[in-house]
Amino acid sequence: MATYLGTHGGRIQNYTTDPDNPNTGEVWYNGTANTIKIEAVTTAGAWATGGSLNTGRRAMSGAGLQTTALGFGGSVQPASPPFTALNMANTEKYDGTSWTEVNDLNTGRGYAAGSGIQTSALFYGGSTGTIQAITESWNGTNWTEVADLNQSRYILGGAGTSNTSALAFGGASTPPYTIHALTESYDGSSWTEVNDMNTARQGFSGWGSSTAAIAATGETSPARVTLTETWNGTNWTEVGDLNTARSGTGSSRVDSTSGIVFGGFESAPTDSNVNKVELWNGTNWTETTDLSGTAYQQQSGAGTGSSAISFGGEGPANQMRAGTEEWTGAGAPQVRTISTD
């Protein structure tokens, strides 16, 4: 059988594997795959399948970037009686290809907030069956319990860039059942109450830093909302609404001037989990390419608006998701096959 190499010779660069850092517009022949490829620029964002978690679960927390992420905590709903949720202490790190189990949390819990990077993170609040104020600090190797939140709560939002700086906001507590607008700031030693959000909510996405954060989606009970608020280090301000009201979304973790939210649970008209994805440009939300496959709520995420991952979540009939999807935003380089012999 004739091959491109045999027919055309060395008119383009020949490789046995794809080059590590090709230039945009570069064309090459991959002799192992017998294909011609090009480093193209994406005209629309796209999702691709990544490596699976070792333990599928919902309501995890995430930190870090797409290729250096940390996933921790969460909850597993058994598929058979007695159906009592198991609160997980598992921690896994992602290298852009696969997840590796590392040292566990001291207290397993789901529906908590997380923030930071793969080597320096915080995990705060959540539920063990009882709503908690516990905070744990990750140093890249181990978790250590540090100062508690002032208010016990779960299904809250979090933002921060390390284990010494974070913002906790919103969420819910019992008894009696209360949805909070409360915001607390962490300085590496203690939590301090600062100015409240404009709208109390639970089950939403939060990201950014302790001085520049964003809160989007959520539930005010019983209504799911499109509300978005930004934090400037002193006050919260209501900004542009999302296109779809939902709760239980996943999101990127850094940079409040951009971001992405995905999945979740939508009320009318579908009253179901959705794969919808929206991008934030610092001013407005734009609908973009949906997640693929089964729709999940209570996902977690990491990364930025242009390079993110979605992992974990809960699907129909209490299906616990182990899968990961990787987001590449529009305008980013992407290898494409343009011919196969």
Q: Classify residue 335: in a domain, yes or no.
A: no
Q: How many CA atoms lie within 13 A of 54 on its CB side?
A: 16
State the burial class of residue 81 (Cβ atoms within 10 Å of its Cβ: 0-12, 13-18, 19+).
Answer: exposed
Kindly state whether residues 139 and 190 are assigned to the same domain.
Answer: yes
Task: Give me the pLDDT at residue 265, please.
Answer: 96
Q: Classify residue 232: in a domain, yes or no.
A: yes
Task: Give me the pLDDT at residue 334, please.
Answer: 57
Cα–Cα distance, 107 to 87 (Å, whole number): 9
The band of 4, judged by pLDDT with boundaries at 50, 70 and 90, is very low
Kindly state whether residues 221 and 207 are assigned to the same domain.
Answer: yes
Does the structure show a pLDDT above 70 at 89? yes
Does the structure show a pLDDT above 60 at 3? no
Q: Classify residue 275: in a domain, yes or no.
A: yes
Percent of the chain with pLDDT over 70: 91
Q: Classify residue 341: in a domain, yes or no.
A: no
Nearest-5° Cα angle at 181, 231 to 233 = 20
- CATH number for the domain spanning 231: value is 2.120.10.80
Q: Give Cα separations from 324 to 111, 116, 261, 293 (angstroms).
A: 19, 20, 15, 11
Please spell the DSSP secondary structure of 206-219, one letter per residue: EEE-SSSEEEE--B
Does the structure show a pLDDT above 70 at 116? yes
**What confidence tens digit (pLDDT) does each residue in 187-223 have?**
999 999 999 999 999 999 999 999 999 999 999 988 9
Q: Classify residue 336: in a domain, yes or no.
A: no
Task: Give me the pLDDT at residue 1, please.
Answer: 45
Backbone phi, then psi, for 6, in 5-degree steps? -70, -35
Q: Which domain holds residue 35?
A: 4-41
Does the structure show a pLDDT above 50 at 72? yes
Task: Give me the pLDDT at residue 42, please.
Answer: 56
What's the one-letter identity of residue 54?
A: N
Cross-strand partners of 193: 184
Kindly state whether residues 195 and 252 are assigned to the same domain.
Answer: yes
Does the structure show a pLDDT above 80 at 6? no
Q: Classify residue 338: in a domain, yes or no.
A: no
Does the structure show a pLDDT above 50 at 144? yes
Kindly state whether residues 14 and 86 are assigned to the same domain.
Answer: no
Task: Give me the pLDDT at residue 338, please.
Answer: 66
Mean pLDDT in residue range 162-172:
98
How high is the mean pLDDT of the chain? 91
**What confidence tens digit (pLDDT) does each residue in 21-45 have?**
677 677 888 888 788 877 655 557 8
Q: What end-to-end distance do the CA atoms of the chain give, in Å?
A: 9
Task: Give me the pLDDT at residue 267, please.
Answer: 84
Q: Classify residue 196: in a domain, yes or no.
A: yes
Kindly state whether residues 35 and 59 are assigned to the same domain.
Answer: no
Cα–Cα distance, 298 to 265 (Å, whole number): 8
Does the structure show a pLDDT above 90 at 229? yes
